[in-house]
Structure 1
Amino acid sequence: MRFDKVIAGGTVVTPGGTFVGDVGIIGEKIAALGTELDDEGADFIPATGHLVLPGVLDVHVHLELPFCGTVSADDYRTGTRAGARGGVTTVIDFAIPSAGGTLAQAADTWMRKAEGKSLIDYTFHICITRWQEQKDQIADMVARGFTTFKEFMIYESEGWQSDDRALFGTLEQMREHGAMLLVHAESARVLDELIARHHTPEEMQRWGAQLHRITRPNFIEAEAIERAVRWCEVTGGQLYIVHMSTAEGTDIVRAAQARGVPVLAETCVQYLVLDDSVFERPDGHLFACCPQLKGRNDIDRLWEGLRRGEVSVVSTDTCTFTREQKAMWNGDWTKIPMGMPGLETLLPLTYTQGVLGGRLSLEEMVRKLSTNPARIMGLAPRKGAIQVGADADVAIIHPTSTRRVDPAEMETNADWSPYEGMELAGFARTTLSRGEVIVDDYRVVGREGRGQWLPRTSAGLAPRSDAAPVAAPRDASPSPFRDHRVEIHLG
C-alpha cells in the first residue's frame, strides 16, 4: 500500500488501545495503522517521543456572536486558527435565529459566517427561541442534516428564553426524530429576583464583579437541571446538559442515568481549572461567563464525574471578548459581556491538569475530548478516533514540553487569557485536518476557508419506535440509552 503521508514512531491512541507505531494516510482518510509502514514516496511526519491523538472536537463554541450589546471578538478565521493550534479539528457553533427569523434562516446566516474563513470542519446546533413559531420547522432541519437543537432556560432579554412548555414539546420531537436537545440550565425567575435584590449602587460599589458569583448560587443551576431531567424522563427525548458547573448538577445527572433517563452532560474546561476567587481580583470582571465559575468542591466533583462517566464531554463555551469589550460594565456586573476565550487552550489545559495532574488517563482524556463528542453529536465514525476509514484528523503533542500562555503569541483575537502565565503542555506541534497539515512546528500553516460543513443524520440515540405514553414513562420498553452510555464510556 502506498501512502500520501505517514506519521511515524509516535504513541498512538486508538479506540482499541495505545501502541507505538505509525499512521498511514491516503487522501483525507486514515488508511492503515501499524509498525514500520512503508513510507516510500510519502510525506514523512516524525512523531517519535510524541503522542498521536485524534483531533479534538469542541462541540460548544460561539464565534462572531451578537451578545450582551456587542459581538464576540473571534470569528471563523481567528477562532478556528486558535483551535487548530490547540489540536481542535472540528467545532460546533450555535445558529441563533434573529427576531422573527426561522430556523433555516439562522442556519444560513451561520453558514455564511463560516464559509471562506474556517480552517477546520464545522457544523451547528440550531437554537429554538420561539417555540410556538418554530416547532414545525424542526423536522425540516433534521432532514437538512442538523440533528442537535438548543434551548436556553434564561436570556429573556435577548429573546432566547424557552419555558417548560417549550422544553417539554421539543423533547417530544427529539424522541420522534432521533435528534437531541441541548439545554442551558439555569432557573430564570429566581436568578432575576436575586439580581434585582443586589442591583443597587451601594452593593455594586462594595462587591463589584463578585456580585456575578453572589447572585448565582449553585441551586440556580441545580434546580434547572433537575427540571430539565424531569421533562426528559417523562418524554423519553434525548437531553444533553451544556456547560455543567456544579457538584449538585453532577449528582442529579448521575442519579438520572442510573435509572435509565437519556441524559448526557458536558462540562467546560474553565470549570475544571478556575474557581470563583477570581472575581475578587481587580480584573475579576474579565472572568464573567454564564454559568459562572464555581468553588473548589465543584471542581473536584466535576473531575470525579469525568472519571466515573456521568460527565461525558469537555468543551469550552468559547465566547471571546476583549478587555475593551469587557470594560463596558462600568462597575455594573449585569452589563459585562459574558464569555471567555478557550479554543486554543482546551487540549493543553485538559492534558496538563487532567493527565499530567493524575486526574485522568490519556485514554480517558481522548474519550472526553474526541471520541465521545463525535459519537454523541452524530459525527462518528468519521470523526473522533484514529481508526482505519476515519478522517485523518490528528493532533501530535509532546508529552512533557510546556509553553507559557501569552496572549501576544496566540491566534485568538483576545488581548487577554484566563490562563495567562500558566505553563501548559499539550499544544499541538502538528495538526492534520482531513490529511492536510494545518499546524506545523506549533505554527498555523493551513489555508483559510478549507474547512467543510458536516451534515449529520443522527445525534445521541437512534430514533425509537416504542414510544410510551407520557403518563406512563416507566411502562416503556427498556431504553437503549444504557447500552449507548456503556459504549461511550468504555468504547
Structure 2
Amino acid sequence: MKLYDILIQGNIVTRDEIIHDGYVAVSGETIAAVGRGELPQAQKIYDERGSFVMPGGIDSQVHSRSQKDREGFAWSTRSAASGGITTIVDMPYDDGNMICNGEQFRAKIANAEQNARVDVALYATIAPEEGTLRIKELVEAGAAGFKFSTFGTDPKRFPRIPSYLLFECFREIGKYQLVAGVHNENDEAVNYFVDKVKKSGLTDWTAHALSRPRITETLAMAEIYELAAETGCRGHVVHCSVGRGYEMCAAYRSQNADTTVEACIHYLILNHEEHGPKLKGLGKINPPIRPKAEVEAIWKHLQKGNVTVVSTDHVSWSLDRKSDPDMLKNASGAPGLEVLYPLLLTGCKQHDVSLVKAASVIAENPARLFNLHDRKGVLEVGKDADISIFRESPYEYNPRKSGNNISDWSPYEGMTLDFKLSKSFLRGELICDDGLVLSRQGNGRFLKPVLGK
C-alpha cells in the first residue's frame, strides 16, 4: 500500500459534495487522494473528524501596501495564514508606487517572495497618460489581472480611467484572457453627492452613505459590463453592495458577456442601521455599507449562484486615519483577512447556504478568475495541498488576541463566529495550528497565471 506524507480525516468539502468522515491524502506539495472508507497509510495523520476540511481560501482583493511603512506582505499574509487564507491577490495601488510597469511589478514580486507567508498573485494597472502601452509587458511579467477605477480617489495613486481609455484597455487585455477588475463608482455622480453633503454641513456617520447612493454604483456597473460585452474582455466588478448589481451581472452573462462580480465580506455581514452608528469612521468603506435589505438581497444572490467570489478588500489603516469626527475625512476600507473565512462560514450557516457553495466563492471561483485553477481552488488530486480545517466552536472575535494582525481594531470586533480555524496547510506544509502561525516570511510564492486554459 502507498505511504502518503500526510493524511487528514474529517468532513471533506469538495466542489460537488461534503464527504462525511472522509480523508485527504498528500504527497509532497500536492493532493494525492480524496476519498472515504478504509484509510490509506501516511507518515503523519491529522484526526480532524467532526471538523470541515476546506480548500485553502483565496482572497481576491488585498491592499497590503496602501499605507507606507505599516503592514506589508509580512503582516498581511500572517493574518491570512491565521484565517485559513492560503493565497492573496494584491492590488496595485501601493502608497507612493502605483504598479503600472514591468520594473515596478518585478520589484513587487521580489518583495512578496521575500516577505510573504502564503502564496501571492498580483494585479497590475496603468498610468492614464501611458494608456495601453505597458499592458503587454505587465502580462509577460505575470499579472493575474488588471485593476482600474471609474472614480478618481487620488490622481497619482488611484486615478480615474475614463470610458474611452477603459474601452482600449479592455480590448487589449482581452487578447490575453485576463480579467479586468474595476472599482465601480461613477465619478461625476459621486462628486456631485459628496459636494451636496458637504454643503449641507452634515459630518456624522450618516454622511458617507448619503454621499454615495446606490445609483453611483449601478451607473458605473452598467459602463463596466457594457465595455466587457463590446470588447469580449472578462469584465469584473471588484465590489458590489447592492442587490441590483448582481442582477445586472447575471443579465449580461445571460447575453453571453463574460461578466463577474465580487461581494466583499463586509457587504454580507455589516449593515447601515445596526453597525453604522457603532462603527462610525471604522465602518467607512467605498462603496458604503448598505441597509439590511441589501445585505439579505446579496445573500439570496449568493445562494442562487450570482455571486462570483467573496473577498475582504483588506486594508489595515492606522487608527488615526479612521477616527476623524468628520466622517468624510476618514480613510476608506478595513482589515479582514483573519476573519474572512470564519465570517463567511458563519453567515452561510445562518442563511442555510451549503459549505460547498462557500468553498466555491472563496476558493474555486477566485482560482478560475485569476487563471490559477490549474493548481489552486479545490480539494482534488493533482492540486496544491492548500487546506484549511474549521471546527464548529463559537467564539467572540478580538483582533488583538491572536497577535497576527498589525491593526488593533476591526469592524467585526465582538462578533460571535461559529467556526474556528483548527489548522491550515500551504502546499502540504502546516502553516497555522490553532492560532499559532508557523509559516515564515518567504514561504509564500509568487503565482503567475496560466494563460489560455
TM-score if structure 2 supplies the norm length? Answer: 0.93
Structure with the largest fraction of strand: 2
Aligned twin of 1:250: 246
1:95 aligns with 2:92: yes
Task: Give 2:104's aligned amino acid.
Answer: A
1:181 aligns with 2:180: yes
Consecutive unaligned residues of structure 1, counting only runs of 5 or more, are 464-491
Task: Give 1:308's aligned amino acid.
Answer: K
Pick from 107, 112, 115: which aligns with 1:114? 112
Match of 1:136, SS state, is coil
What do the CA deviations read for 1:284-334 (whole angstroms, capped 9, x no partner)?
11111111111112111211111112211101100112322313x3x3333
The aligned runs of 1:23-422 (5 Å cut-off) are: 23-34=24-35, 35-40=37-42, 42-66=43-67, 71=68, 73-96=70-93, 102-130=100-128, 132-159=129-156, 160-200=159-199, 203-204=201-202, 207-277=203-273, 280-281=276-277, 283-327=279-323, 329=324, 331-354=325-348, 356-398=349-391, 400-410=392-402, 411-422=404-415
Q: State the distance in 1 between where 2:434 and 2:41 align.
A: 21
Q: State the distance in 2 between where 1:381 and 1:101 align.
A: 26
Aligned twin of 1:449: 442
Asked if 1 retains the 8 angstrom alpha-carbon contact of 2:105 and 2:141, the reply is no
Structure 1 residues 332 and 305, CA, compared in 2 at 3 Å: closer, same or farther? same
Match of 1:115, SS state, is helix
Q: State the distance in 1 between where 2:168 and 2:361 align.
A: 30
Asked if 2 retains the 8 angstrom alpha-carbon contact of 1:87 and 1:427, the reply is no
What do the CA deviations read for 1:253-300 (whole angstroms, capped 9, x no partner)?
121112111111111110011012357526411111111111112111
Q: State the distance in 1 between where 2:66 and 2:262 align.
A: 21
Asked if 1 retains the 8 angstrom alpha-carbon contact of 2:249 and 2:260, the reply is yes
Q: State the distance in 1 between where 2:153 and 2:116 align.
A: 31
Task: Give 2:260's aligned amino acid.
Answer: L
Q: State the distance in 2 between where 1:38 and 1:52 align.
A: 17
Task: Give 2:399's aligned amino acid.
Answer: P
Q: How far is the alpha carbon of 1:121 from its aligned partner?
A: 0.3
Q: State the distance in 1 between where 2:107 and 2:270 align.
A: 34
Asked if 2 retains the 8 angstrom alpha-carbon contact of 1:80 and 1:120, the reply is yes
Match of 1:48, SS state, is strand
Aligned twin of 1:481: none
Aligned twin of 1:486: none
Match of 1:116, SS state, is helix
Task: Give 2:53's aligned amino acid.
Answer: V
Q: State the distance in 1 between where 2:369 and 2:180 align.
A: 11
Aligned twin of 2:14: 14
Q: How far is the alpha carbon of 1:111 from its aligned partner?
A: 2.2
Consecutive unaligned residues of structure 2, counting only runs of 5 or more, are none
Q: State the distance in 2 between where 1:315 and 1:446 align.
A: 22
Q: How far is the alpha carbon of 1:142 from its aligned partner?
A: 1.7
Structure 1 residues 426 and 239, CA, compared in 2 at 3 Å: closer, same or farther? same
Task: Give 2:105's aligned amino acid.
Answer: A
Q: State the distance in 2 between where 1:102 and 1:372 align.
A: 26
* Identity level (%): 28
Asked if 1 retains the 8 angstrom alpha-carbon contact of 2:240 and 2:264, the reply is yes
Match of 1:146, SS state, is coil
Aligned twin of 1:483: none
Task: Give the CA RMSD over aligned residues.
Answer: 2.0
